[in-house]
Structure 1
């Protein structure tokens, strides 16, 4: 066993993320399909996603402060248990309660993610960080491959109760893996009010991280358009149903696995900036091919191939983004900085969702999906500019 996997604490965090994300993908795929089937409305589907993002925006300051003040492993443990309990209202099948569950799960995830991402650099060496993030990407895409495919199938076979059972089990298994200490001693830090501690963390967003605000905003807006219109694209352009939606979301994990493996091979030779820039540009190119494919063919095998390829730059861009953010923050403020960028991502993703829901009818589905690809292209080109400026500034300081 080589690389970050040699660290027992990292292995347990990696496995806990894997089983938890299987359940996440089951939920992420099945609930939008359920809402779209129930209402037949793109606007209602977009509303479900937006409502799921609002709590995370509100909780971002608290989440970042808690991740920097409390023991991060314990915080993730209690959040996993709360996520299992919060799924129970799905048994009713009521549309309002489905939206409530999405909102609560997003709120709890807003507490979980900054703690997990801030903890990772403590478990592996700095030179292993990109490789560790690559393994997390492999992990996430394996979960997507299983969870997304299961989401559509389980919803079709057993409805929301089956979705509930799978998700509850995943969160409980994650809690068991997080129950054992990682060997890190982390005393509570600071007693300043949450708002003041959060503002102190914001001061860390300087230098190249300021440019990353625009990059993350573009990436998130593009993703917001995607998550709303993907279901519509598969059902209306390709004539698919629940199983096809789940399969095409899941097949992206095949490329994601390849992308995660590539990161592990090149992490020590390619900077996080270059990983991010070129993966975003590649993502834009593949997306454009996929969205415009129905002009030529609607053969399902073609889209299986396109979305499988799309997974590689998708996971590499996520690894590059997270590595850049982690490497440019200190441990004392990392939770707050990552929570702030998480909130930024959610806010712009919500903007993308609203745009998708409002403009699909007047502008057309294909036009908006092409805009989604262009946003990724602009983000990639912007990363090239930011990284060059950062290199020049570093050279000036060294001279």
Structure 2
């Protein structure tokens, strides 16, 4: 095991700190939205079916905008794309607070589009403002902020609900999007290139992705693991918590443990550089199998909580070197497009797992489904690790 040599921390770099603040603001606003809308359901200003439609519209907007944002972020300044994506989210948020369902659905789609366009732009933006030697530390700081957001957003939303209306809280997220619009650094430039038609530029990004076998293998493993692993958390964990243990405390403790583990994983990856980073990353991803495996047997709740801590650590052991390798190996002029493919596939196919999970339980039983999920979560990363370039997440071997 090797650690990062002592040097000036990326956290002391003003440009990165501004980018980090904007990314964090975007993450908090994104994670808070479902909880804010949930409060609207409790207040009976929004129905449960209405909530589902609004959240679905946001997902659709996100998935449509991700590839568009990837092409535009490679075509124009990353800063410009982040700016306009933030503006789109900023102006659509008040419409979401309007209260009339058709307007809310349209606003949710626009808000999701702003969130989606930000993702590949932020990913490529990091490579623009951070030196290659410090990108792993930078990506660890980015993912740390996202994980803190998952912990802070629900509690902060509930706290604000004691002193403000749901509409007021929702409008308050405009301040977060204003940070996204105003705070990111400028001064980055890209090589001028001849621009083709939009679909040709997107296909060019796909061709770039195909040049990296480790990327395709890793994306496949990540997508399958996210689809079945996250589905086991979303569907099976509440059932196990209620039916086996008779309390929602196991559900709350396990989901919190997952986020805490992810924070620990981000801190580890800020310093640790494994010799075979690809194998270490896929090993971390395979730890996701502990989530369904821990729910398969009637164990003490502490075992489930410990398993979810390990799952959280493992996902960041994968995420940080994965993002870093993508920024290092992919041609800079195509980085946002390749990153958009990552987000589009891994996020876009995950709902399929959710849709199939409940029917699978009805057909085969909870135990059989959990066992199959655990096996897939382990086998998918193992198969991806067999691809020769996966050992170092690089087309050519790299020294440690």
Q: TM-score range, shorter-chain basis? A: 0.7 to 0.9
Determine the C-alpha separation between the residues in 1 that align with 2:115 and 2:76: 16
Question: Which residue, 176, 184, 189 being the options, matches 2:188?
Answer: 184
1:207-259 CA distance string (max 9 Å, x none): 42332342232133235525742784487446667x99777645533222211
* Structure richer in helix, relative to its length: 1
In the TM superposition, what is the alpha-carbon distance from 1:362 to its structure 2 partner? 4.0
Find the residue that maps to 1:134 and give its secondary structure. helix
Determine the C-alpha separation between the residues in 2 that align with 1:169 and 1:76: 15
Determine the C-alpha separation between the residues in 2 that align with 1:104 and 1:226: 30
1:237-294 CA distance string (max 9 Å, x none): 46667x9977764553322221111101213x444413321111222224522x346x
The verdict on how the C-alpha distance between 1:27 and 1:7 changes in structure 2, with shifts beyond 3 A counting, is same
CA contact (8 A) 1:29 1:246 kept: no
Question: Which residue, 189, 198, 217 being the options, matches 1:194?
Answer: 198
Question: Which residue, 120, 132, 154 being the options, matches 1:114?
Answer: 120
CA contact (8 A) 2:35 2:157 kept: yes
Question: Which residue, 204, 207, 218 being the options, matches 1:203?
Answer: 207
The verdict on how the C-alpha distance between 1:233 and 1:85 changes in structure 2, with shifts beyond 3 A counting, is farther
Determine the C-alpha separation between the residues in 1 that align with 2:291 and 2:344: 27
Determine the C-alpha separation between the residues in 1 that align with 2:118 and 2:10: 21
1:96-147 CA distance string (max 9 Å, x none): 6665554333322221111110121222222222222111111111222211
- 2:11 maps to what in 1? 5
Determine the C-alpha separation between the residues in 1 that align with 2:17 and 2:148: 15
- 2:311 maps to what in 1? 310
Determine the C-alpha separation between the residues in 2 that align with 1:378 and 1:195: 34
In the TM superposition, what is the alpha-carbon distance from 1:312 to its structure 2 partner? 1.5
CA contact (8 A) 2:278 2:390 kept: no
Quick check: 1:148 aligned with 2:154?
A: yes
Question: Which residue, 69, 82, 87 being the options, matches 1:76?
Answer: 82
Which protein has greater RCO, CA pairs closer than 8 Å, 6+ apart?
A: 1
CA contact (8 A) 1:259 1:313 kept: yes
The verdict on how the C-alpha distance between 1:346 and 1:253 changes in structure 2, with shifts beyond 3 A counting, is closer
Find the residue that maps to 2:332 and give its secondary structure. coil
TM-score in terms of structure 1 length: 0.80
Determine the C-alpha separation between the residues in 2 that align with 1:163 and 1:227: 28
The verdict on how the C-alpha distance between 1:250 and 1:101 changes in structure 2, with shifts beyond 3 A counting, is farther
Give matches, 1:1-399, under 5 Å.
2-29=8-35, 31=37, 51-92=57-98, 100-151=106-157, 160-161=166-167, 163-178=169-184, 180-181=185-186, 183-186=187-190, 189-205=193-209, 206-208=211-213, 209-222=215-228, 225-226=231-232, 228-229=234-235, 232-233=238-239, 236-237=242-243, 249-267=255-273, 269-289=274-294, 291-292=295-296, 295-297=298-300, 306-356=307-357, 358-364=359-365, 367-387=368-388, 394=396
Find the residue that maps to 1:333 and give its secondary structure. helix
1:285-344 CA distance string (max 9 Å, x none): 24522x346x3456xx77655544432212222223322322321101111111122211
The verdict on how the C-alpha distance between 1:346 and 1:278 changes in structure 2, with shifts beyond 3 A counting, is same
Structure 1: unaligned runs, 5 residues or longer: none
Determine the C-alpha separation between the residues in 2 that align with 1:142 and 1:103: 25
The verdict on how the C-alpha distance between 1:101 and 1:250 changes in structure 2, with shifts beyond 3 A counting, is farther
Pick which of 115-124 and 228-237 moved more.
228-237
Find the residue that maps to 1:203 and give its secondary structure. helix
In the TM superposition, what is the alpha-carbon distance from 1:204 to its structure 2 partner? 0.7
Structure 2: unaligned runs, 5 residues or longer: 1-6
The verdict on how the C-alpha distance between 1:8 and 1:188 changes in structure 2, with shifts beyond 3 A counting, is same
CA contact (8 A) 2:290 2:311 kept: no
In the TM superposition, what is the alpha-carbon distance from 1:170 to its structure 2 partner? 1.9
The verdict on how the C-alpha distance between 1:163 and 1:76 changes in structure 2, with shifts beyond 3 A counting, is same
TM-score in terms of structure 2 length: 0.80
CA contact (8 A) 2:94 2:171 kept: no
The verdict on how the C-alpha distance between 1:60 and 1:20 changes in structure 2, with shifts beyond 3 A counting, is closer
In the TM superposition, what is the alpha-carbon distance from 1:194 to its structure 2 partner? 0.4
In the TM superposition, what is the alpha-carbon distance from 1:374 to its structure 2 partner? 3.4
Determine the C-alpha separation between the residues in 2 that align with 1:283 and 1:48: 30
Determine the C-alpha separation between the residues in 2 that align with 1:317 and 1:46: 31
CA contact (8 A) 2:225 2:376 kept: yes
